Amino acid sequence: NSTVSESLSIELALRSNTAVQKLKDTPYDILDAVDFFLKHGCPKAGRITVAQAVDLHLERQKDRGLRDTSASKDHKNFNSNFKPFLKSFGKRLLISITAEEVEKWLKTREAEWIKKKGAKWSPNTWNSYRNVLCGFWGTMADKNYCSKALNPFEKLAIREERDGNIRSKIIFAQDAEKFFLFLEGRAKSIRKDYRRETWFDLAANVLSWFCGVRSEERDLVSWDDLDRDAEYSESLNLPDLTGWELSIYANEEKKGQSKILPIPEHAKKWLILVESKIGTLKGPVFHGDFFQRYSSRKKEFEKETGIKIPTNSARHTFASHHLALWGNEGCTKMRMGHKENSTTLFDNYLTIVKHKKAIPYYGIIPLEVKLNEERQEKVKALAVKISALRKQSNIGQLCWDQNMELQPVQDWEEFDQQHEEYWSPPAGIKYTDDLLLLPDDDKELIKVILPEVKI
């Protein structure tokens, strides 16, 4: 026993010495290495293989109520996104995968594609694979099977799209307004049992198109994190603050803030309208199979208008218009959550969207709101007119003249004489003692002349 104990002690000493030697040319000591290992190499939930992790990921997708496109091994999306990954890494421990390995693996896949098809992947294809696998790792980190900080797929470069591709994905104000009015109209006309979901989806689109929420953040964004009374330090030099902001956290446990997105004034009007229809917005922003429904809405819109909305249009449209409106590259980069150099991408944006074109984009509001705002302007002018006319009447009464214009009534006898010559008034006019009198209350009179807009 004593010999075995001595041998183990010697072996431990040798291993410790080797570890120290490996660290001697670095700014770290062996305690740093141990601390790092305990933090990132000993997941609380235990060590699992990549194959086990993929199974857990699919189970979670099913628990979220997603369709087979995101939750089934029998779907083509699984064959594209996970099957090749499992073939190369399935038996490996999840926490053993490195950024260098996954980059080499993904580039090898692309090389095979080039050999087969004669062309590279589009930036969208590369970024799509990257985003799916980033999300997979994030799910496992939230379940404590790996470290969020060591996500190897986040190290993969985000490929920028060519200018021509970006140009086709930026939707200008005129067509963006048509799309949102289409969504508003559909929410009002669809069957009642689908109406709530349709309004909910419209609100999610508002955050994507006008506020900068990205599809990769689908699991991290919640209506519960919308602050409608945000306070700001005077030292903040950010031009787009509005008092409403949405916090997006680095993980589903809300440990660490990823970014903050202000809600522009016109976007507030959309959200207020939605809540007037279905109540306070709560829970996940992207509910259930939102992205499948969104794809269907785009196809319906294209069929109705001939306007095509490509993949990633919301992201590029938001970023290009935000940059053009505020002229602050750092602020736009912050809202997009870009960590990489975005100069080339932003230069492309600025050649496509100018400040003058960005202004109407930030004026897109619901038709119902627009009509009611126009009515309010008319109401203000009419209230002044009614007040002035009542002051001209000895009895404080108003009536229609022969041209259906408002006029003051000076006394009852005059009113009786005039009344005999009048045609029937518009619906809603009150009668008092068989006399054709308009309402005494100014607000009631305004409702008669300018009915509230109901669409």
pLDDT, tens digit, for every residue of 162-203? Answer: 656 788 899 999 999 999 999 999 999 999 999 999 999 999
Residue 426 confidence class, pLDDT cut points 50, 70, 90: very low
- HSE (side-chain half, CA atoms, 13 Å) at 416: 5
Q: What CATH number labels 165-365? A: 1.10.443.10
Mean pLDDT value across residues 88-112: 94
pLDDT at 338 over 90: no
The pTM for the full model equals 0.66
Q: Could you tell me if 217 and 314 are in contact, meaning their C-beta atoms sit under 8 angstroms apart?
A: no
In this prediction, residue 112 carries a pLDDT of 92
Same fold, 22-159 and 165-365: no
How many CB atoms lie under 10 A from the CB of residue 69?
14
Give the residue with greater pLDDT, 333 vs 234.
333
Mean pLDDT value across residues 301-326: 94
pLDDT at 207 over 60: yes
In this prediction, residue 270 carries a pLDDT of 98
In this prediction, residue 91 carries a pLDDT of 95
Residue 97 confidence class, pLDDT cut points 50, 70, 90: very high
In this prediction, residue 423 carries a pLDDT of 39
d(CA 315, CA 319): 6
Residue 74 confidence class, pLDDT cut points 50, 70, 90: confident
User: CA Rg, the chain, in Å?
Assistant: 32
In this prediction, residue 347 carries a pLDDT of 82
Q: Tens digits of per-residue pLDDT, 130-168? A: 988 988 998 898 899 998 888 999 888 888 766 567 888
d(CA 158, CA 454): 46
Least confident piece of the model among 7-16, 51-60, 177-186, 370-379: 7-16
Residue 384 confidence class, pLDDT cut points 50, 70, 90: very high
Q: Could you tell me if 234 and 226 are in contact, meaning their C-beta atoms sit under 8 angstroms apart?
A: no
In this prediction, residue 434 carries a pLDDT of 42
Q: Tens digits of per-residue pLDDT, 386-423? A: 999 989 888 788 877 777 788 887 765 655 555 554 43
Q: What CATH number labels 22-159? A: 1.10.150
Q: Tens digits of per-residue pLDDT, 108-124? A: 999 999 999 888 888 87
Q: Which residues of 284-309 are buried (b: 16+ CB within 10 A; e: fewer)?
A: bbbbebbbebbeebbeebeeeeeeeb
Average pLDDT, the chain: 85
Residue 3 confidence class, pLDDT cut points 50, 70, 90: low
d(CA 310, CA 312): 6
- Residue 210 vs residues 27, 264, 270, 452: alpha-carbon distances, Å: 45, 7, 10, 28
d(CA 158, CA 12): 44
Mean pLDDT value across residues 363-375: 95
In the chain, where are the structural domains located? 22-159, 165-365, 369-449
In this prediction, residue 422 carries a pLDDT of 44
Residue 335 confidence class, pLDDT cut points 50, 70, 90: very high
Mean pLDDT value across residues 68-72: 74
d(CA 186, CA 444): 32
